[in-house]
Amino acid sequence: MGLIVVSNREPYAPRRNEDGTLTWVPSIGGLTAALDPALQQAGGTWIAWGEERADIRAVDLPQEEPRYRLERLRLSEAEVRDFYHGFSNRALWPMSHYFIERAKYQGSGWRAYVNVNRRFAEAAVRSYREGDLIWVHDYQLALVPRLIREALPEARIGFFWHIPWPSSEVFRTLPWDREVLDGILGADLIGMHTPEYVGHFLSACRRALNAETGEGEVRWKDRVSRVVDRPIGIEVETFEQLAASPEVEEAADRLRRTLQTQILLGVDRLDYTKGIPERLEAFDTFLDRHPEARGRVTLVQIAVPSRERVESYRQLRTQVEGLVGRINGKHTEGGWAPIQYIYRGVGREELVAHYRAADVMLVTPLRDGLNLVAKEFTACSADGVLVLSRFAGAADELPEAVQVNPYSPERVADHLLGALNMPLEEKKARLERLRARLHESDLHAWANGFVRELAGE
Ligand code: ADQ
């Protein structure tokens, strides 16, 4: 029995070496870390969009000791525009995060979405051997389970939705709400991060499809799909070990020595769902209210460039840069600037050194499916405080974090003061309890557990 994984992003990307040969390097992100080991173990196929070097249609991975095959779909310029930047990132993404005023529901995007989903499904069907398990990922590919089901009525198909599932009142703004639900319900097992998302999904099935639902299940087209909350984990031990390594300790010390202040940290893709402008406003409010903190605390905000072809992301970048400039202009004094803004992805070691050096980690999305940064910080920190938005899916699992409402800069500013002044013992006690939870279900347990459930074990 093999495993077929279907996702938009590929697990490894080609890099050209100086001598002209190619090296396949693992992509950053939870999905590769979770599913690459599972696929290496089970053997099988990963189907994904071959973004770079689309002429290479398939490759056996990992390069040194191949265990599975990566099938790479070539998307045309128009497909990338309409399927990916269009329907996925301008319609489903904002709608699912409750930003309906940003959602653009265009027929051209929808048609491209249907076509590209069909191509992913056809590739999965071609790779399928009897007994294989198929696991489809995320909002870009919601129609794939149904399209596979039509060709392979007996296949075991799983689906994981990595972003929030919004209230059915919001979901029903989507003109293709029935089609998306029907697409997902082609799967036997449907996973989401929280019980709330599962509840919203079931309610959407009842309202839009008039489907019969029970506790964690939907009956539709003579089949029953199970819908479960299975929040994704991180590689806890890998992060813990890296955080304790001498290189990271040294890098963290360097950071502390350079800044010479307490450190607040933000690490996000530059996305409007992550609440970065609101966080900056909160810090501004904090400095206004507590002038004595000037020169004593620095906010380091690391933002990874993201979806720069979408207009609203370019606007966000301008907005954030403007705010950083305004706040720094207002409060800078005597060689100290309140905000250090880093606009790029950083390597894992540097990232962990930042987690390690931070006194307070600010994870304040306006809405987030789960948020891995919150978990990564928890695994790495020795005595820091996690400030976490109540609108991140991870808030359910991390009750000992200082939970905040990111829509209120004033409240966040109050909590910031509390976090900065929290006694050491309390900080350690909270971290210890949080970390124990991380160990209960790490990334590998998440992936293996889902695959086992799908197999009916
Ligand atoms: P994302 O929206 O990408 O994921 P998140 O869960 O925070 O959000 O994962 C981001 C990853 O990128 C983390 O592993 C983080 O370490 C890394 N990263 C972020 N900024 C970085 C930087 N500047 N440099 C280097 N690395 C950086 C989507 C959903 C989430 C859900 C995940 C997994 O939106 O809600 O948690 O999928 O299901």
Q: For 140-174, how does the pLDDT look when each residue is reduced to its tens digit (9 = 90+)?
A: 999 999 999 999 999 999 999 999 999 999 999 99
**Residue 198: per-residue pLDDT:** 98
Average pLDDT over every residue of 431-452: 95
Q: What residue owns the CA closest to ligand 1's atom 24?
A: 345
Atom of ligand 1 nearest to the CA of 31: 33
The pair phi, psi for residue 407, each rounded to 5°, is -75, -10
Least Cα distance to 112 among 138, 127, 92, 136 occurs for 92
Are the C-beta atoms of 413 and 371 separated by less than 8 Å?
no
**Residue 394: per-residue pLDDT:** 98
Q: Please give the Cα distance from 190 to 426 (Å, whole number).
A: 38
Q: Is the CB of 268 under 6 A from ligand 1?
A: yes
Q: Which residues contact 240 (CB under 8 A, 6 or more apart)?
A: 379, 380
Average per-residue pLDDT in the chain? 97
Q: Is the CB of 231 under 6 A from ligand 1?
A: no
**Residue 29: per-residue pLDDT:** 77
- Lookup result for tokens 């969009």: 49
**Residue 267: per-residue pLDDT:** 97
Are the C-beta atoms of 95 and 166 separated by less than 8 Å?
yes
Least Cα distance to 310 among 102, 8, 50 occurs for 102
Atom of ligand 1 nearest to the CA of 345: 24
Q: Is the CB of 138 under 6 A from ligand 1?
A: no
Are the C-beta atoms of 5 and 46 separated by less than 8 Å?
yes
Average pLDDT over every residue of 433-449: 94
**Residue 456: per-residue pLDDT:** 95
* Model-wide pTM > 0.95: yes
Is 137 exposed, middle or buried (CB count within 10 Å of its CB: 0-12, 13-18, 19+)? Answer: buried
Q: For 27-66, how does the pLDDT look when each residue is reduced to its tens digit (9 = 90+)?
A: 877 788 889 988 999 999 999 999 999 999 999 999 999 9
Average pLDDT over every residue of 354-383: 98
Work out the pLDDT band at 359, boundaries 50, 70, 90.
very high
Q: Is the CB of 345 under 6 A from ligand 1?
A: yes
For residue 200, give both structure tokens: 């919203």
Are the C-beta atoms of 258 and 265 separated by less than 8 Å?
no
Q: Please give the Cα distance from 197 to 232 (Å, whole number).
A: 14
Average pLDDT over every residue of 274-293: 98
Average pLDDT over every residue of 261-282: 97
**Residue 454: per-residue pLDDT:** 98
What is the distance in angstroms between the CA of the first residue and the CA of the last residue of the chain? 13
Over pLDDT 90: what percentage of the chain? 95
Q: What residue owns the CA closest to ligand 1's atom 4?
A: 371
For residue 94, give both structure tokens: 């904002």
Ligand 1 centroid vs 411 CA: distance in angstroms? 25
Ligand 1 centroid vs 34 CA: distance in angstroms? 14
Average pLDDT over every residue of 67-77: 97
The distance from CA 457 to its chain's CA centroid, rounded to whole angstroms, is: 28
Active site residue 137: no
Q: Per the residue annotation, which of 138, 368, 415, 442 is the catalytic one?
A: 368
Q: Is the CB of 30 under 6 A from ligand 1?
A: yes
Average pLDDT over every residue of 308-330: 95
Average pLDDT over every residue of 279-301: 98
Average pLDDT over every residue of 222-234: 97
Q: Is the CB of 368 under 6 A from ligand 1?
A: yes
pLDDT at residue 403 above 80? yes
Q: What residue owns the CA closest to ligand 1's atom 17?
A: 29
**Residue 33: per-residue pLDDT:** 84
Q: Please give the Cα distance from 369 to 348 (Å, whole number).
A: 22
Residue 427 Ramachandran class (φ > 0 left, ψ -120 to 50 alpha, else beta): alpha
For residue 276, give both structure tokens: 């970065």
pLDDT at residue 1 above 90? no
The distance from CA 330 to its chain's CA centroid, rounded to whole angstroms, is: 34
Work out the pLDDT band at 429, boundaries 50, 70, 90.
very high
Q: For 197-211, how does the pLDDT look when each residue is reduced to its tens digit (9 = 90+)?
A: 999 999 999 999 999
User: Domains in the chain, please, with CATH?
Assistant: 3-232+444-455 (3.40.50.2000), 236-440 (3.40.50.2000)
Ligand 1 centroid vs 149 CA: distance in angstroms? 31
Atom of ligand 1 nearest to the CA of 268: 20
**Residue 142: per-residue pLDDT:** 99
Ligand 1 centroid vs 304 CA: distance in angstroms? 9
Ligand 1 centroid vs 131 CA: distance in angstroms? 33
Q: Per the residue annotation, which of 132, 137, 138, 162 is the catalytic one?
A: 162
Q: Measured between alpha carbons, how far is residue 77 from residues 26, 50, 51, 84, 112 in Å?
A: 24, 13, 11, 10, 11
Q: What residue owns the CA closest to ligand 1's atom 27?
A: 345
For residue 177, give both structure tokens: 């709400």
Q: What count of residues does the chain have?
A: 457
pLDDT at residue 338 above 90? yes
Q: Is the CB of 371 under 6 A from ligand 1?
A: yes
Q: For 79-131, how does the pLDDT look when each residue is reduced to its tens digit (9 = 90+)?
A: 999 999 999 999 999 999 999 999 999 999 999 999 999 999 999 999 999 99
**Residue 401: per-residue pLDDT:** 98
Active site residue 162: yes
| Mutational pocket test of ligand 1: of 7, 95, 373, the residue with most ligand atoms within 8 Å of the beta carbon | 373
Half-sphere exposure of 275 (CA within 13 A, CB side): 26
